[in-house]
Amino acid sequence: MKLHVNIGTSGWSYRHWQNIFYPDTIKPEKYLEFYTMHFSCVELNSCFYHLPRISTVEGWLKRTPDIFFFCPKLSRYVTHELQLVNAGEAIQKFFDVFIKLKTKLGPVLIQLPPGMMYNELLISLFFETLKEKYSGYRFAIEVRNKTWINDIFFAILERFNMALVIADSGNRYPYFETVTTDFVYIRFHGREHLYASDYSDDDLFQYAEKIKRWQQEGKEVWVFFNNDYQGYAIKNAKRLREMIS
């Protein structure tokens, strides 16, 4: 069974994409509408730093096509400040903001800080909370400490039907390919320079072949390019899509 591949970028409101992606005639407040003419999904990085207003989220709902998906990144207050401990209220606040956008949500991205080491009890309790209260959502977790790359953690991910993010960032953060649920989530951060490196056709072709294989295995695939510098994310996303189609 061949399932759809969702390819987009990590955000759309980049002023430095003017004349690279956005024409001069497009004002920043219309960037989203223009973006949806080229991509069917976007990763919401901004809500990692600060939650949007509910009115803003309602606006995104109205301004995008019926078949367009947002993948919001869980607040850094939960992951980096609270370190997943006693985070119930903060998690609730996050989902209260996005509830009206639920029909257009892809997986919710959880990015752990580099200094957070593997803790089986902590992550199991955190996942239990998500399963109990937010079972209607899907989750993908990006780890940035090598201690998380272990079979016990992968088994926990499988048990809770969560994906391990395949994060391509050169040697900056851990890289590991394993599929623990019914979808695959890939993030391209740039290899030589974080957020600022272009991917070659050879690099992208290797991923295109993997994505095709995952499709044949019945997996849905989500891909986001976070290398926004010089519009590389736009260029690479379009090129990868060409290779897969």
Token representation of residue 14 = 């980049």
Cross-strand partners of 84: none
Q: Which residues contact 181 (CB under 8 A, 6 or more apart)?
A: 138, 157, 158, 161, 162, 163
What is the residue type of 239?
R
Question: What was the pLDDT predicted at 102?
Answer: 96
**In Å, how far from its chain's centre is CA 44?**
7
- Model confidence at 139: pLDDT above 50: yes
Question: What was the pLDDT predicted at 116?
Answer: 98
Q: Is the dihedral of CA 180, 40, 61, 67 positive or negative?
A: negative
Mean pLDDT of 119-140: 97
Question: What was the pLDDT predicted at 167?
Answer: 97
- Model confidence at 169: pLDDT above 60: yes
pTM score of the predicted model = 0.96
* Domain over 5-244 is classified CATH 3.40.50.2300: no
What confidence tens digit (pLDDT) does each residue in 1-35 have?
345 899 999 999 999 999 999 999 999 999 999 99
Nearest to 135 by CA among 117, 160, 154: 160
Q: What is the mean pLDDT of the chain?
A: 96
Nearest to 235 by CA among 210, 201, 206: 201
Question: What was the pLDDT predicted at 1?
Answer: 35
Question: What was the pLDDT predicted at 57?
Answer: 97
Mean pLDDT of 207-234: 97
- Give percent above pLDDT 70 in the chain: 99
Q: Tell me which DSSP letter residue 81 carries.
A: I
Token representation of residue 172 = 């900056």
108-111/183-188 β-pairing? unpaired
Question: What was the pLDDT predicted at 38?
Answer: 97
Domains of the chain, by residue range, sit at 5-244
Question: What was the pLDDT predicted at 4?
Answer: 82
Nearest to 73 by CA among 207, 180, 176, 165: 165
Mean pLDDT of 173-188: 97
What is the residue type of 212?
K
